[in-house]
Amino acid sequence: MGKGDINNSCNPFEVQGSVNYDKLVDEFGCERIDGALIKRFEKLTGKPAHLLLRRGMFYTHRDLTALLDDYERGVPFYLYTGRGASSESLHVGHLMSFFFTKYLQDAFNVPVVIQLTDDEKFYYKEKVTLEEAQRLAHLNAKDIIACGFCPDKTFIFTDTGYMGTMYPVVAKAAKMITFNQCHGVLGDNIMANIGRVFYPSIQAAPAFPGSFPMMFGTRKDIRCLIPQGIDQDPFFRLCRSIAPRMGESKPACIHCKFFPAMEGPNSKMSSSSTAPSTIFMTDTPKLIAKKVNKYAFSGGQETRELQEKLGANLDVDVPYQYLRHIMEDDLRLEQIGQDYANGKLMTGELKKICIDELVKIVEKHQEAMRHITDETVRHFMDPTRQSLKAFSMNNLRI
Amino acid sequence: MGKGDINNSCNPFEVQGSVNYDKLVDEFGCERIDGALIKRFEKLTGKPAHLLLRRGMFYTHRDLTALLDDYERGVPFYLYTGRGASSESLHVGHLMSFFFTKYLQDAFNVPVVIQLTDDEKFYYKEKVTLEEAQRLAHLNAKDIIACGFCPDKTFIFTDTGYMGTMYPVVAKAAKMITFNQCHGVLGDNIMANIGRVFYPSIQAAPAFPGSFPMMFGTRKDIRCLIPQGIDQDPFFRLCRSIAPRMGESKPACIHCKFFPAMEGPNSKMSSSSTAPSTIFMTDTPKLIAKKVNKYAFSGGQETRELQEKLGANLDVDVPYQYLRHIMEDDLRLEQIGQDYANGKLMTGELKKICIDELVKIVEKHQEAMRHITDETVRHFMDPTRQSLKAFSMNNLRI
What confidence tens digit (pLDDT) does each residue in A307-331 have? Answer: 999 999 999 999 999 999 999 999 9
CB atoms A194 and B177 under 8 Å: yes
Sign of CA dihedral B375, B136, B95, B278: positive
Whether residue B69 lies inside any domain: the answer is yes
pLDDT in tens, A336-389: 999 999 999 999 999 999 999 999 999 999 999 999 999 999 999 999 999 898
pLDDT at A20: 82
SS3 content of chain A, % helix, strand, coil (to 5): 55, 10, 35
Chain centroid, CA A81 distance in Å: 7
B167-178 in b/e form (b: 16+ CB < 10 A) is: bbbbbbbbbbbe
Partner-chain contact B194 A200, CB within 8 Å:
yes
How far apart are alpha carbons B280 and B287 in whole angstroms? Answer: 10
Chain B contacts of A197, Cβ < 8 Å? 179, 194, 197-198
Distance CA(B267)–CA(A373), nearest Å, equals 62
Q: Which residues of chain B have pLDDT under 50?
A: 1-10
Min distance B164 CA to chain A CA atoms (Å)? 3
Nearest to A198 among B130, B174, B180 (CB): B174
Report the CATH number that the domain containing residue B28 is assigned in CATH: 3.40.50.620
Give every CB contact of residue A46 below 8 A, 6+ residues apart in sequence.
none
Distance between B181 CA and the closest CA of chain A, angstroms: 9
Yes or no: say if B202 and B159 are a contact pair by the CB < 8 Å rule.
yes
What is the count of residue pairs from A and B with beta carbons less than 8 Å apart?
100
Q: State the average pLDDT over residues A296-300.
A: 93
Identify the CA nearest to A279 among candidates A319, A243, A236, A313. Answer: A319
Residue B215's pLDDT is: 94
Tell me whether residues A179 and B197 touch, CB distance under 8 A.
yes
What is the number of residues in chain B?
Answer: 398
Partners of A188 on chain B (C-beta within 8 Å) are: none
Confidence at residue A7, expressed as pLDDT on a 0 to 100 scale: 42
* Cα A64 to Cα A73: distance, rounded to the nearest angstrom: 14
What pLDDT score does A14 carry?
Answer: 52
Measure CA B58 to chain center.
Answer: 10
- CA dist B194 and A29 (Å) reads 25
| CB-based contact B168 A176, cutoff 8 Å | no
Q: Please, what is the average pLDDT of chain A? A: 91
For the cut 70, the answer to whether the pLDDT of residue A6 exceeds it is no
- Judged by CB atoms closer than 8 Å, whether chains meet at B167 and A165 is answered as no
Considering chain A, what percentage of its residues have pLDDT values greater than 90?
81
Nearest to B97 by CA among B224, B204, B207, B227: B227
List CB contacts of B217: < 8 A, sequence separation 6 or more. Answer: none
In this complex, the residue of A119, A123, A176 whose CB is nearest that of residue B193 is A176
Distance between CA atoms of residues A190 and A198, nearest Å: 9
- Does residue B309 sit within a domain? no
| Cα–Cα–Cα angle for B120, B125, B127, rounded to 5 degrees | 130
Per the domain annotation, does A275 fall within a domain? no
Answer whether residue A201 shows pLDDT above 50. yes
Among candidates B160, B164, B193 on the partner chain, residue whose Cβ is nearest the Cβ of A175: B193
Q: Which residues on chain A are in Cβ contact (under 8 Å) with B163?
A: 163-164, 167
pLDDT, residue B395, reads: 77
- Is A252 exposed, middle or buried, given 0-12, 13-18 or 19+ CB atoms closer than 10 A? buried
Between chains, do B192 and A176 touch, taking CB under 8 Å as contact? no
Which chain B residues are within 8 Å of A171, Cβ to Cβ? 119, 122-123, 130, 160, 195
pLDDT for the residue B16: 53
What's the angle, vertex CA A22, arms to CA A21 and CA A28, rounded to 5?
105
* Domain assignment present for B103: yes
Per the model's pLDDT, the better-predicted residue between A7 and B216 turns out to be B216
Cβ-Cβ contacts under 8 Å, B191 against chain A = 178-180
Residue B114 domain-assigned? yes
Residues B3-24 pLDDT 10s: 334 444 445 555 555 678 888 8
B interface test, pick of A122, A129, A167, A188 with most B CB neighbours within 10 Å: A167
Q: Which of B6, B50, B12, B8 is nearest to B28 (CA)?
A: B6
pLDDT value for A27:
83
Nearest to A108 by CA among A140, A146, A75: A75
pLDDT above 70 covers a percentage of chain A that reads 94
CA distance, residue A137 to nearest chain B CA (Å): 14
**Do residues B254 and B81 make contact, with C-beta atoms less than 8 angstroms apart?**
no
- Whether A83 is covered by a domain: the verdict is yes
For residue B17, what pLDDT is reported? 56
pLDDT-derived band at A4, boundaries 50, 70, 90: very low
By a Cβ cutoff of 8 Å, what residues of chain B touch chain A? Answer: 119, 122-123, 130, 159-160, 163-165, 167-168, 171-172, 174-180, 182, 190-195, 197-198, 200-201
Residue A378 lies in a domain: no
Instruction: Kindly determine whether residue B179 and residue A192, on different chains, have CB atoms separated by under 8 Å.
Output: yes
pLDDT over 90 (residue A277): no
Chain B residue with minimum CA distance to A180: B191
Domain count for chain A: 1
- B287: in domain: no
pLDDT at A159: 98
Whole-prediction pTM value?
Answer: 0.92
Mutate to test the interface with B, among A194, A198, A203 (most CBs of B within 10 A): A194
Q: What is the pLDDT of residue A8?
A: 40
CA angle, B187 then B191 then B197, to 5°:
80
Residues of A with CB under 8 A from a CB of B: 119, 122-123, 130, 159-160, 163-165, 167-168, 171-172, 174-180, 182, 190-195, 197-198, 200-201
Angstrom distance (rounded) from CA A278 to CA A275: 7
- The CA distance from B32 to B35, in Å, is 10
- The helix/strand/coil state of B33 is coil
Closest approach of chain A CAs to the CA of B139, in angstroms?
A: 19
pLDDT digits (tens, 9 = 90+) for A86-117: 788 899 999 999 999 999 999 999 999 999 99
Tell me the residue type at A141. A
Range of the domain at B251: 10-263
Q: Which sign does the torsion angle of CA B332, B334, B338, B341 carry?
A: positive
